[in-house]
Structure 1
Amino acid sequence: MLTVDFERLGLKPGDRVIDMGCGAGRHAFEMYRRGADVIAFDQDADELANVLELFGAMKEAGEVPEGASADIKEGDALALPFADGEFDRVVASEVLEHIPADIQAIEELVRVLRPGGTMAVTVPRWLPEIICWKLSEDYHNTPGGHIRIYSDKELIGKLQNAGMVFEGIDYAHGLHSPYWWLKCAVGVKNDDHPLVKAYHQVLVWDIMKTPRYSVATRLAEKALNPLIGKSMVLYLRKPESA
């Protein structure tokens, strides 16, 4: 389940890219499949070990083009262990809402991006997120959980203040917002609730099936994304003169 549109990001084979806060690695895997030189970066060593194992499995299975490379790096988002301008593309998906010092994290992302390079930043969208917060304290009041809700104006402003040029906005995962509202209403950890289980099965089916088998759900999500898409996706470019 991808949140970032890599065509819009401008990703090309051979690009050096960082997936900052990669988690389970979904975006890192896709960039590797597209022939990039990928660094999956996170502070969770266990997650990174799984990502590295899957990188190896992808290579063994012949899922990546010749010349593509991928590796992991554990570290702190506030002090990225990379040189200035090292990356052609930067992805930070569903990360900044967890970081208290978000401005410092943004400055680090901008620092390691080369002049002329592009960045995709995704966070939970304001309206779906605030509904979740209103419905459930447990949704966000957990260690390492969401500590803020961004408006588009706020996050765009912070990225522009760090030197980035805003190029566009998109929304994703419209089918997921009602799922999370339902979970928040019945209890975030109540995965055995029949309605939650049923909705989850629909989401899994939609992700696993090829587009020709899931036309209805794909069309529904496309219609819902501008209205209640769970994620806000920002696309930005670092000026050549930076």
Structure 2
Amino acid sequence: MFKRFFGIKKSKAVVPEAHATVTVPPAVAIDSFHVGLRDALESGWYLHESSELYRGFVISAEDVVLDIGCGDGGNSLFCANHGAHVIVADIDAAKVESTMQRLAETPARMVQGIVGDANPLTLADGTASKVVCMEVLEHVDDTAQFLSELVRVGKSGAHYLLSVPDPVQETLQKGVAPPWYFEKPNHIRIIQRDEFEKMVTDAGLVIERHEYFGFYWSVWWLFFWICKVDLSNASHPLLDNWAKTWETLMDTREGEQVRLALNNFMPKSQVIIARKP
């Protein structure tokens, strides 16, 4: 009955030929952090050929660079490799020590280390020609006092590279991240975009650019919290598939257009380049 209904007759049934067996290659491992670095390069970070730590923020051998909240020293390393005098500062003595060791074999003119909370900085007025302060202000009790110290130690005409987490993704993280992520000494405030600009101008700096980057990381961190893996070995199908998806996007013809639109919509961070008059 069913064969008659669908117009199928036994005498005319065709048996398909067996296909040759296809060997599926094993999945290629993907590194979330490698993809993140590629994304950062596309956003204008670590441009070695033009000596730009971030597009428009040129580092030269004549510079004295203060990297406040140096962390693992990635930004300091870039500056040191371009011959600058680099001052690394962090509240964590171990990070200062490890960063100084990391910079020991670079062509940096000089490497100094400061351990402390930058209140105050043990530097003379007008020391630095470049000040780098990445993802620090969200940890600080008194942002006005902190920024006033950064301005004090900058030379007249010094340039500042400042970044903080963007409020849209930070608000999303609040619903997923463990409570300690938003407790001292971690993130104790969410800084709105206009609030960030006001902090900088109230400190006496002139804003030259305010930009956004890192949608990839906004989503990655949301996934990271639910994967329950260690950050030092952050491999999980969800994280790996997200990294692969983002890499595939960047490989497409219109990928950059989409990447920029998403960066503006929900960036991981907002970055300001400012100048001391």
* TM bracket, shorter-chain basis: 0.7 to 0.9
4+ long deviations beyond 4 Å: 1-5, 185-193, 199-203, 220-223
Task: State percent identity of aligned pairs.
Answer: 28
**In structure 2, do the counterparts of structure 1 residues 94 and 87 end up closer, same or farther at CA, with 3 Å as the change threshold?**
same
C-alpha deviation, 1:215, in angstroms? 5.1
Q: 1:192 and 1:232, CA in 2 relative to 1: closer, same or farther beyond 3 A?
A: closer
Aligned ranges 1:155-166 → 2 under 5 Å? 155-166=196-207
**CA offsets, 1:48-82, max 9 Å, x none?**
121111112x43xxxx3xx6332322122221000
Give, in whole Å, the separation in 1 of the partners of 2:90 and 2:234.
30
Confirm or deny that 1:71 pairs with 2:109: no
CA distance in 1, matches of 2:222, 2:200: 29
Structure 2 partner of 1:225: 263
Aligned to 2:93: 45
**Deviation of the 1:235 alpha carbon:** 0.8
Between 1 and 2, higher relative CO (CA 8 Å, sep ≥ 6) is seen in: 1
* 1:156-235 alignment runs, 5 A limit: 156-186=197-227, 194-198=236-240, 216=251, 219=256, 221-235=259-273
Q: In the TM superposition, what is the alpha-carbon distance from 1:158 to its structure 2 partner?
A: 1.3
1:105 pairs with 2:146? yes
For 1:198, the aligned partner's letter is D
Aligned equivalents of 1:201, 1:48: Cα separation in 2: 31
Equivalence for 2:185 = 144
Q: Identify the match of residue 126 of structure 2 among 58, 61, 85.
A: 85
In structure 2, C-alpha distance between the alignment counterparts of 1:81 and 1:23, rounded to whole Å: 19
CA gap 1:18/1:193 in 2 versus in 1, 3 angstroms: closer
Secondary structure of residue in 1 paired with 2:190: coil
Return the letter of the residue paired with 2:133.
A
Cα separation, 2, equivalents of 1:14 and 1:85:
15
| Counterpart check, 1:237 vs 2:275 | yes
Partner SS, residue 91 of structure 1 = strand
Q: CA deviation at 1:120?
A: 0.9
Task: Write the letter of the residue equivalent to 1:236.
Answer: A
What is the alpha-carbon distance in structure 1 between the residues aligned to residue 242 and residue 80 of structure 2?
A: 28
For 2:80, the equivalent position in structure 1 comes to 32
- For normalisation by structure 2, the TM-score amounts to 0.71
| The 10-residue stretch of structure 1 (67-76 or 25-34) with the greater mean CA deviation from structure 2 | 67-76
Structure 1, unpaired ranges of 5+: 207-212
The alignment partner of 1:135 has SS state of coil
Structural RMSD (CA): 2.9
Shift of 1:184: 3.3
- Number of residue pairs matched by the alignment: 225
TM-score, normalization by structure 1:
0.81
Q: What is the CA-CA distance between 1:91 and the residue it aligns to?
A: 0.6
Measure, in 1, the Cα distance between the counterparts of 2:66 and 2:238: 34
* Aligned amino acid, residue 236 of structure 2: P
Larger radius of gyration: 2
